[in-house]
Amino acid sequence: MTDKTPFYITTAISYPNGKPHIGHAYELIATDAMARYQRLDGKDVFFLTGTDEHGQKMQQTARAEGITAQELADRNSGEFQAMAKLLNASNDDFIRTTQERHHETSKNIWNRMADAGDIYKDSYAGWYSVRDEAYYQENETELRADGVRYGPQGTPVEWVEEASYFFKLSEYQDKLLALYEAEPDFIGPAERRNEVISFVKSGLRDLSISRTTFDWGIKVPDDPEHVMYVWVDALTNYLTATGYLEDKNGPRAKYWPADVHIIGKDIIRFHAVYWPAFLMSAKLPLPKRVFAHGFVLAKGGEKMSKSLGNVLDPFELIEHFGLDAIRYFLMREISFGHDGNCSEEAIGTRINADLANGIGNLASRSLSMIVKNCDGKIPVCGPLTDEDKAMLAAADALLASTREDMEKQLIHRALTSIIAVVSETDRYFAGQQPWALKKTDPDRMETVLYVTAEVVRQIAILLQPFVPGSAEKMLDLVGAAADKRDFTALGEAGRLVSGTPLEAPSPVFPRYVAPQA
Ligand code: ME8
């Protein structure tokens, strides 16, 4: 038994109608950084990702390729799993909505909503976007000059008329508004919260929650002519993986409700309106927070698209720059919660400034001086000057500040403050001139090198969530014991031990040189 506090974090589950793109990689990396941060901070983390395999979009894509939807799902879900591995994602499970466990939970939640009297049979006539798998009101759509009608996300909509079950969403309007009021942190960031509140205030209509014109989905209990609307089943994935609905004493039931669902801004309505309404109806606890990140855009803020030829492939980027360079860039360059641009030039500039010339250079300069001048061992720390104390205090303060940032999903801010301490250490190191002290005051040189190495150690511990492989290498270089790498080893508690042998450092973050055109 563990007495650690459970922490449940999820990504959206991706449609495997194609291969994963940079937006999928971005979301998974960010969520992984948050999961790793909480694990290092002592939480009992359950981190879930997966694929959303039903619906009309999957069936249409499969048909166009001349294969079955199941074959398409199998092939591309495999690609998403391969990407998770390549990204060094620390997810504890990977859910596929075609799994039996998920069919069971989806039927269970449906039955609970039906038992609550919130489901009725009628017929639907209205606009539907297959690309978004979303129903839209006519006033949310526009007929453009090309003769095609588009929904609010810029995808074409088509007219649908069919027999359908409905969920009484209209009865949840006041309850949802009361939820947003009572739990101001339920939706982040603030722009998305405001957007959701005004959407709900504008009036909620009952939601069509089953389809009869195709069959690639989970059958509605006792009415196999209907398959569930894909979003009913998709959202339920978060519950399925915990087993909470089937057995409240099961091994993963303690993780429900989720601490945070990390999603993109285009799917906030499903997560912050439909999902809590379904859960309220089913009389189940609500997730504590839904946080919507922005979109990764191409250079100049353009949307990535095949026709513009500006699509960045995560597999190719990693091959070219290395995994941790890409993880770092995406987390540091884009303010989490807002859109941000990504280009090869921007990646090269950022990783050279912060990683190669920043932390990498600081670590290799200070540690190679130690290896050369201190008998290959962590030096002795003599009496501390005010500058030494201020330097250590800046490093010691990072836990509290990054913890606060990470609780609010301000990943870029946490990284910025870590890198600010790297710059401060550079200035400290340059100002103290340990290379000059070597002749005039070797004891003082040792103290300066000790303080610098100690800051490098703390920075490496704190960088683990973001660049896990490189941070581990840095911790090896600085001689940090294997059992002193979580956040309990930050600050005074884990100070470097004088006399610990060190190996000559090899570069952790090589300088990136763009290939000649
Ligand atoms: O929406 N930048 O799946 P999906 C950043 N199956 N994030 C992006 C992005 C970009 N350019 N493009 C997409 C779905 N995303 C549903 C989710 S959850 C119960 C069901 C994000 O494959 C997008 O916002 O279209 C979403 O969070 C995730 O990638 C999966 O998108």
Q: Is the CB of 267 under 6 A from ligand 1?
A: yes
CB count within 10 Å of CB 223 equals 13
Alpha helices in 11-149 (DSSP H): 22-40, 56-65, 69-86, 100-115
Residues 382 and 494 in one domain: yes
pLDDT at 229: 98
Does any domain span residue 285? yes
Helix (H) or strand (E) segment spanning residue 223 = strand 223-228
Does any domain span residue 160? yes
> What's the 144 CA to ligand 1 centre distance in angstroms?
25
Residue 102 has pLDDT above 70, yes or no: yes
Mean pLDDT over each residue of the chain, to the nearest integer: 96
Average pLDDT over residues 214-239: 98
Residues 464 and 375 in one domain: yes
CB count within 10 Å of CB 171 equals 16
Residue 289 has pLDDT above 90, yes or no: yes
Does any domain span residue 345? no
Cis ω on the peptide bond leading into residue 257 (within 30° of 0)? Answer: yes
Closest by Cα among 436, 424, 305 to 21 = 305
Does any domain span residue 313? no
Q: Is the CB of 26 under 6 A from ligand 1?
A: yes
Q: Which domain holds residue 227?
A: 6-113+185-293
> What's the 84 CA to ligand 1 centre distance in angstroms?
15
Eight-class DSSP state of 512: P
pLDDT at 128: 96
Residues 389 and 253 in one domain: no
Residue 2 has pLDDT above 80, yes or no: no
Average pLDDT over residues 16-39: 97
Residues 366 and 437 in one domain: yes
Residue 240 has pLDDT above 70, yes or no: yes
Q: Is the CB of 83 under 6 A from ligand 1?
A: no
E strands, 67-197, in order: 93-96, 119-129, 134-136, 142-143, 149-150, 158-167, 187-188
Task: Examine the fold and report which residue of 269, 293, 317 is the final residue of a domain before the chain moves on.
Answer: 293
pLDDT at 26: 98
Does any domain span residue 492? yes
Mutate which of 19, 228, 263 for ligand 1? The one with the most ligand atoms within 8 Å of its CB, which is 263
Residues 193 and 216 in one domain: yes
CB count within 10 Å of CB 268 equals 20
Residues 268 and 190 in one domain: yes
Residues 23 and 101 in one domain: yes
Question: Each residue of 53-91: pLDDT tens digit?
Answer: 999 999 999 999 999 999 999 999 999 999 999 999 999
Residue 517 has pLDDT above 80, yes or no: no
Residues 469 and 368 in one domain: yes
* Structural domains of the chain, count: 3
pLDDT at 70: 98
Cβ-count burial 294-333 (b if 16+ within 10 Å, e if not): bbbbbeeeeebeeeeebebebbebbebbbbbbbbbbbbbb
Question: Each residue of 376-434: pLDDT tens digit?
Answer: 999 999 999 999 999 999 999 999 999 999 999 999 999 999 999 999 999 999 999 99
- CA–CA separation, 321 and 298 (whole Å): 17
ipTM: 0.99
**Nearest Cα residue to atom 13 of ligand 1:** 23
pLDDT at 307: 76
Residues 283 and 368 in one domain: no
CATH number of the domain residue 414 falls in: 1.10.730.10
The distance of Cα 452 from the centroid of its chain, to the nearest Å, equals 32
Residues 94 and 148 in one domain: no
CB count within 10 Å of CB 46 equals 22
Identify the band that residue 305 occupies on the pLDDT scale cut at 50, 70 and 90: confident
Residues 208 and 285 in one domain: yes
pLDDT at 72: 98
Most distant CA atoms of the chain, gap in Å? 89
Does any domain span residue 396? yes
Residues 248 and 192 in one domain: yes
**Nearest Cα residue to atom 19 of ligand 1:** 235
Identify the band that residue 343 occupies on the pLDDT scale cut at 50, 70 and 90: very high
pLDDT at 309: 79
Identify the band that residue 1 occupies on the pLDDT scale cut at 50, 70 and 90: low
Output the CA angle 452-455-456, nearest 5 degrees: 85
Does any domain span residue 315? no
CATH number of the domain residue 14 falls in: 3.40.50.620
Does any domain span residue 180? no
Residue 150 has pLDDT above 80, yes or no: yes
Ligand 1 atom nearest the C-alpha of 24 is: 29
Question: Each residue of 459-510: pLDDT tens digit?
Answer: 999 999 999 999 999 999 999 999 999 999 999 999 999 999 998 999 999 9
